[in-house]
Amino acid sequence: MNQKVAIVTGANSGMGLATSVEMANKGYHVIMLCRNKQRGEQAVESAKIQLTNGSVELQLCDLGSLDDIRSYTESFIQSGKALDVLIANAGVVTTKRQETKDGFEAMLGVNHLGHFLLIQLLLDKLKQSLDGRIVIVSSGAHKWGDINFNDPHMTKKYSIMKGYGQSKLANILYTRRLAKELKGTNVSVNALHPGAVATNLGVNRDTGFGKAIYRLLKPFFQTPEQGSRTAVYLATDEEIEHVSGEYFIKAARAPISKRAADDGLADKLWEWSQKQTGMKS
């Protein structure tokens, strides 16, 4: 039997690294997709020490660059490798406003738009799998979020809470809209809240707290391994093979905010994302 292949984005530390190890230990060949070569190489070495099964390899892609995503997906498709699972784990939190190479606000640009383009360009590959799965790491922070189409990249007024919340809301809206597109195929997509994971995003994924408060609260956070459990469950468990478009906390379906459940907003974001990423003029 051919070994199943999974891509994990943001695999160089924290939850991404833990998810990569767990997926490999379930027998997968895991492509650890990282932006930074040196950190990626260290992560792969760290992962290999923890493997009891499966295999890992490093591949490089900057989710803050549409050109980089296009050239990466093109070379992946040309390689002839199979793809069964894509776990969109990479996430950035920026205390001050930053931009991606394409001029997007960094959190929306990486957390949503970068993953949007990566996934859309690899959909045909996933459809060739007997059980293709896309797992998108969102957050309870989606409840603070709204999509401000008048100023989505927050050029006028920047707020870390609003920006992060907007990017995580976009993750769920995209999950729900993509599930509709994938109806009738053998590919499912689900989103999750990882719990308050102690990662080195700079600020905690769940709360947006700064480092001082983060250190104070760290004992109460789940470890990256605990946080990765739901991602691995969604990527591998047989009981949810045909579940799609849902949001999970601790391996159970969970309620979402009113905005996240808004189909009209999901449609609007879908159209906007296609234009922003050049998938549609």
What pLDDT digit, counting tens, does each position of 168-205 carry? 999 999 999 999 999 999 999 999 998 655 444 444 44
Confidence of residue 139 (pLDDT cuts 50, 70, 90): confident
CB-based contacts of 74, cutoff 8 Å, min separation 6: none
Query: In this structure, is residue 166 part of a structural domain?
Result: yes
Give residue 19's domain range.
5-276
Please give the tally of structural domains in the chain.
1
Query: And the tokens for 81?
Result: 């490798």
Please state whether the predicted TM-score (pTM) of the whole model is above 0.85. Answer: yes
DSSP 3-state percent helix, strand, coil across the chain (nearest 5): 45, 15, 40
Query: In this structure, is residue 281 part of a structural domain?
Result: no
Nearest to 94 by CA among 153, 174, 21, 182: 153
Give the pLDDT score at 202. 47
% the chain with pLDDT above 90: 77
Which pLDDT tens digit goes with each residue over 76-95? 999 999 999 999 999 988 88
Catalytic residues: 164
Overall size of the chain counted in residues? 281
- Assign residue 183 the CATH number of its domain: 3.40.50.720
Query: In this structure, is residue 93 part of a structural domain?
Result: yes
Query: And the tokens for 164?
Result: 């992060």
Which pLDDT tens digit goes with each residue over 123-138? 999 999 999 999 999 9
Strands 85-88 and 55-60: unpaired
Rounded mean pLDDT of 7-31? 96
